[in-house]
Amino acid sequence: MKKILIANRGAAAARILRAAQALGLRSVAVYSEADADLPYVGQADESFCIGPAPARASYLNQDLLLEVMARCGADALHPGYGFLSENAQFARRVEEAGHCFIGPSSKWIDVLGNKASARELMQRHGLQAGGSTGILPRDDMATVRQAAQALGYPVLIKPAGGGGGIGMIPVHDPQSLSGCWERASGMAEKAFANPALYLERFVPSPRHIEFQFLADRFGNVLSLFERDCSTQRRYQKVIEEAPAPAIDRQAVAGMAERLSAILGEIGYDVIGTVEMLYTPDSGFSFLEVNTRLQVEHAISEAVTGVDIVQAQIRLAAGEKLSSVISGQPAVAGHAIEARVYAEDPVRFLPSPGVLKTFELPQPRPGLRIETGYAQGNRISSHYDPMVAKVIAHAADRAAAIRELSGALGGMRIEGIKSNIPMILQVLASERFQAGVMTVDGLQEVISTESVKELA
């Protein structure tokens, strides 16, 4: 492997570029017309415009991405997260063209990147999973209604491909099902070029715990422990931390060991995250497998010292796990990540516009900021509104919360609205401080009037 095409944008592209440079690999950035001025585009060894702003005409254009690969002579492609990162057809096309797809083999994206078939496979290996259906016909509402009735309301509509909470819609009664189904399908098709949906039984007030794994193509699997991603807004993660607080460590370690054994048994490779729901009464329940790099990978990097993106590249290139990472890492300290979005902190509406001021805290030990933007850049309405990820790492959780709060409070963003006031209120809340947030807990700790004052 000598040259990597980075088939993504924003913070994901900037992060992959940094890993490629650290490994001495040449890099190729692709960008839409809306992203032409973003800093990483000029930092890559080569860059190519791949079309207008809409994702379907640019970042989801498989033919054009493969054409750019052939034109520039890249021998590998990193999909980042979102877009085509869990599109098995695209991964297979990259492989069939003789290139390396920097992710799991296409067969695993096909089986596990599809959330419905992933549940079936994991249930066969003995994992508990809540009720769900297979993929349901897009235009046959009679079948969809029957499936929802069989599960029992409330149900959750979920896209079979993709992630990030996009297209996930809870439905509490039969009257709402048709409209929600149509809306979810349209969102999934726009974001992932895959409109397929399935239904899942809605679990009230769980915690969202996920387990990070690396694997080689020789049957070896390594656990990089767990992350707690329970602080969410409309199923979109906002704050993540590692390790998970206020939870039985023996139960967590046992689940990590069990998942490692399953992934090794089936021959899974390169990188993956197994997401679970957790309640004190019922324990862990399988949710899905993310067959890609996660947005929140940085907190696992912070507590283990492992560069996950570099490891992903090397494992995809065929290296053995033992040559990439020496032994089982240990957890050191506590790390918390906040996702800073261009959105109104009270109404949560997107706030696209120009970053007239974008001043970040000075780098220091224990503080890391990932972004694809610089002052003067425009936050486009065509993409996810995440502006930056702010990661704090300290000796203990309380110190990490203080470091993250201080860093967020020191950021100056003008020209757009951001969700920083809301994040600061959540970090200061009694519920977050106690480490017992659930996926529906964020709204409960937000006081609209207090957020207005902070904003």
Supply the DSSP symbol for 315: H
Number of residues assigned to the chain = 455
Examine the residue annotation and report whether 227 is marked as an active-site residue of this protein: no
d(CA 363, CA 267): 40
166-177: burial string, b at 16+ Cβ within 10 Å, e else: bbbbbbeeeeeb
Contact criterion met (CB below 8 Å) for 214 and 224: yes
Smallest Cα–Cα separation from 47: which of 38, 378, 78? 38
Supply the DSSP symbol for 410: T
The beta-strand segments (E) located in 347-417 are 353-354, 357-359, 367-371, 378-379, 386-394, 412-414
d(CA 52, CA 59): 10
d(CA 202, CA 455): 33
What dihedral do alpha carbons 79, 84, 86, 92 form, nearest 10°?
Answer: -90
If DSSP codes are grouped into helix, strand and coil, which group holds residue 251? helix
Q: Which of 15, 119, 217, 292 is catalytic?
A: 292
What are the DSSP calls for 8-48, one per residue? --HHHHHHHHHHHHHTT-EEEEEE-GGGTT-HHHHHSSEEE
d(CA 326, CA 328): 7
Alpha-carbon 452 to chain mean position: 29
Structure tokens belonging to residue 452:
């207005």
d(CA 52, CA 54): 6
**Long-range CB contact pairs, 20-27, < 8 A, 24+:** 20/78, 20/313, 22/307, 22/310, 23/310, 23/313, 23/314, 25/1, 25/313, 26/2, 27/3
The catalytic site residues sit at: 292
